[in-house]
Amino acid sequence: MTDLSHFDPNAASNPNNNIFGLPFTEEDARLVILPVPWEVTVSYNAGTARAADHIFKASMHVDLFDPDNNDAWKQGFFMRYPDKKILLKSDYLRKEAELYIDYICHGEKLEKNLFMCKSQRDINEGGTYLNKWVYEQTKQLLNRNKLVAVLGGDHSIVLGFFKAIAELHGDFGVLQIDAHCDLRQSYEFFTYSHASVMYNALTEIPSLTHLVQLGVRDYCQQEYEYIQNNQGRVITYFDKDIKERQFEGETWKQITDEIVNKLPEKVLVSFDIDGLDPKLCPNTGTPVQGGFETEQIFYLLKKIVQSGRKFIGFDLVEIGVGDNNEWDANVGAHILWRLANLLVASNQ
């Protein structure tokens, strides 16, 4: 066990320690954060693959006192270093994807260009490789009785994580905070696109019994029809509808109570930071106007825990990297801290 007798949580963070300046090793930590530096299929802004390094730096300026979950951190948080092989593979395939996306967006026929056909195969094979890697890393940690969180990277990274969680916990639900549904089928002919991750999860993981989506405000007709055809398993709270209910007098507490009642006993939180107001995440991969304030989300999460439901894991994805601007990382580090405390507090 880590000796905390000489650790002062009120002092300046020591960057020679781990995330948030905490002095834990992976062996001693209750929660292990797995960074996944991958963003091959992003279709707007890139940069999320390197978010973990920026969040680590920003985490040194996060105060450790959390009045809602006091001392949860004493059970130990540890973040692994991003895997350089995964990052290099992402960088290489991202270059291929940029050329490929530019090609097909101009209406060119894929089958007429052998190079683009090869790029498509390479990228799809890369997605399969990444999913397997994340699954194996998560599985190994769960087998050691660790709580696991995944830090992106783009949203496509979570499929292997979900699969490993499902094997341990059986039936569970996902609470997705996101500006997008991510329910497209093979978007841009990529099997494992960031825009298809929830479609893939629902297709490949039968024990994912409930997907509750919050803050969606940018989606296509195919996704809307999928939601309508899967009511009961997929419940989407569109940002527009939430706002209109509030305009007409409903409180966030009333809406929160309704959301909590839609969730099963076990809940995994999938937090795409673009679900927030873009003033909080201006460099995220695909920003959209509208969205939540952070305290709205953490009020909801607190109510879920108070309801007796159990958090079984979380991911935090799509945090952008700005030029000479660490605001995204600062917000991301604070969200990571609150999520980590909630997860550990829910698994005493």
Do 311 and 343 form a contact (C-beta atoms < 8 A)? yes
Is 180 known to sit in a ligand binding site? Answer: yes
Q: What is the 3-state secondary structure (H, E, C) of 268-320?
A: EEEEEHHHECCCCCCCCCCCCCCCECHHHHHHHHHHHHHCCCEEEEEEEECCC
C-alpha to C-alpha distance for 51 and 284, rounded to whole angstroms: 10
Distances (CA, A) of 119 to 88, 97, 128: 16, 7, 14
Calculate helix-pair angle for 327-345, 294-306, nearest 10 degrees.
Answer: 10
Is 315 known to sit in a ligand binding site? Answer: no
Three-state secondary structure call for residue 188: helix
Do 18 and 73 form a contact (C-beta atoms < 8 A)? no
Of 15, 301, 37, 291, nearest to 154 (Cα)?
37
Is 53 known to sit in a ligand binding site? Answer: no
Q: The tokens 């992402």 sit on which residue?
A: 90
Is 182 known to sit in a ligand binding site? Answer: yes
Distances (CA, A) of 129 to 45, 275, 298: 23, 28, 34
Binding-site positions for Mn(2+)? 155, 178, 180, 182, 272, 274
Binding-site positions? 155, 178, 180, 182, 272, 274
